[in-house]
Structure 1
Amino acid sequence: MSSLTPEKGHTSTSNNYSPDVEQGGGVPISTTEGPAHRSGIGNPGPMGLFSFASTTFILSMFNVQTRGITHQNVVVGMAIFAGGLTQFIAGMWEFPRGNVFGATAFSSYGAFWMSYATIFIPSSGIMAAYANPDELANAIGIYLVAWLMVTLFFLLAVIRRNIAYTVLLSSLSVAFVCLAAAEFTQNPMVTKAGGVFGIITAFIAYYIGVSELLFAEQSAIFNLPLGAWGR
């Protein structure tokens, strides 16, 4: 999700790079035919990752019913402004940097969080439109399945090329599977399982965000490796 180098760990970026490779998330992501664009825009990756991680962490803590919490409504504001708007802006800033993967992923998950939050806003009328709770659960289940498919598509772009992002998207995929299954079966234990994988996903996203933030700061005394393989 950022314009870093394909080496394990982080090293300085060279002006000479393969013309069919777009730098993304510390690994070469082959999503364009031309070279990545150069721009003066700073790396928005840490901002997007921290917003994604924090919103995912809060919702997942609610899903495992931490301290007896069974309602998710507090996450609505976070989902609109942090996981939603802030992450969407990060995606828009990735486009002029030539990072198609980062732009698509951040923008998509930003849209996910804003649309998810809208479901729980009473004035949207979405939940009120379903008189049958089972119908609502099935509708949300299908919604989550759609985002599971999107996540799997993103996973195809990084698998075997970047360890950190492969683990992140794999964990997120499992979380979506559990949460969708929980809606279809109305099994609270499956919801908790989805929450556990969501918490794992959040901490992996935090790790990647810190890694990219440290790499962006020239004064950082150490870097956190993301791990990458060659083509």
Structure 2
Amino acid sequence: MAEQKVGNPAVVGLAGFGLTTMVLQFHNVGWMGIGPVVWLGLIFGGFAQMVAGLQEMKTGNNFGYCAFTAYGCFWIALALLLIGNHYNLYVSSKSDIGWFLIAWTLFTAILWVGALRISGALALTFTLLLGGFVLLDLAHFGFPELTVVAGYELMLCAAMAWYIMAHLIFADVFGRDVLPVGKPWLRAPAAPVATLKVAGATA
């Protein structure tokens, strides 16, 4: 009996991350209010992305497991933070949110290094994400005009996340790589000659 095909949870994780990030930037550049961001942050960017991350655990993909689960929690935490500020519950000041973002910047830097070893598209996505977090950090500590700059930069990040999502979906639908994601920016070092000889002898 043929083994049943299992869907790739990354397509949902990337979809939720990309769409919620995109909508937040619509707010950051002044095109819309914060309401849709809160609800998307709770449902699509938050809950759905976190579930996708937990599904990645079953595939053995530690990068996807960590990234989707963590950023799903990020969106839920951000949405609740905004709700708390609105209803005067555990109010967070501008600098409090700034330190919250700095912590996520440091976390993102770790995943950025890992992304460099996976594909060019993912490396670009995380480079844009890391740069966006740095801009938002600065915006919360004395340079508020950078919020708009971060908004446009993170729109590119969201678009890249959707590109990788489309790469996965189209490869499945068309049976071939329609949207290439490029080679990793950081290559593994070549194995020493002695190690190769031993491996060859062992084999």
Q: State the TM-score, normalizing by the size of structure 2.
A: 0.83
Unpaired stretches in structure 1, ≥5 consecutive residues: 1-37
Tell me how large the CA RMSD over aligned residues is: 2.2
1:80 matched residue in structure 2: 42
Unpaired stretches in structure 2, ≥5 consecutive residues: 189-203
Q: 1:152 to 1:90 in 2, by over 3 A?
A: same
Q: 1:129 to 1:221 in 2, by over 3 A?
A: closer
Q: Which has the higher helix share?
A: 2
For residues 34-92 of structure 1, the C-alpha deviation after alignment (integer angstroms, 9 at most, x for no partner) is xxxx99532111111011000000001110112xx3x4232100001000000001001
- Please state if 1:45 is matched with 2:7: no
Q: Secondary structure at the match of 2:93?
A: helix
Whose relative contact order is higher, 1 or 2, with alpha carbons under 8 Å and at least 6 apart? 1
Letter in 2 for 1:202: A
Give the whole-Å Cα distance in 1 for the aligned partners of 2:69 and 2:178: 27
Letter in 2 for 1:172: L
Residue-pair matches, total: 184
2:25 matched residue in structure 1: 60
Give the whole-Å Cα distance in 2 for the aligned partners of 1:182 and 1:153: 22
Letter in 1 for 2:36: V
1:184 equivalent among 127, 137, 141? 141
Letter in 2 for 1:178: L
Give the whole-Å Cα distance in 1 for the aligned partners of 2:95 and 2:62: 33
Letter in 2 for 1:197: E
1:117 matched residue in structure 2: 79
Q: 1:222 to 1:157 in 2, by over 3 A?
A: closer
Give the whole-Å Cα distance in 2 for the aligned partners of 1:75 and 1:151: 21
Counting only pairs closer than 5 Å after superposition, residues 67-216 of structure 1 correspond to structure 2 as 69=32, 71-122=33-84, 128-130=89-91, 136-185=93-142, 187-216=143-172
Question: Residue 196 of structure 1: CA displacement?
Answer: 1.0
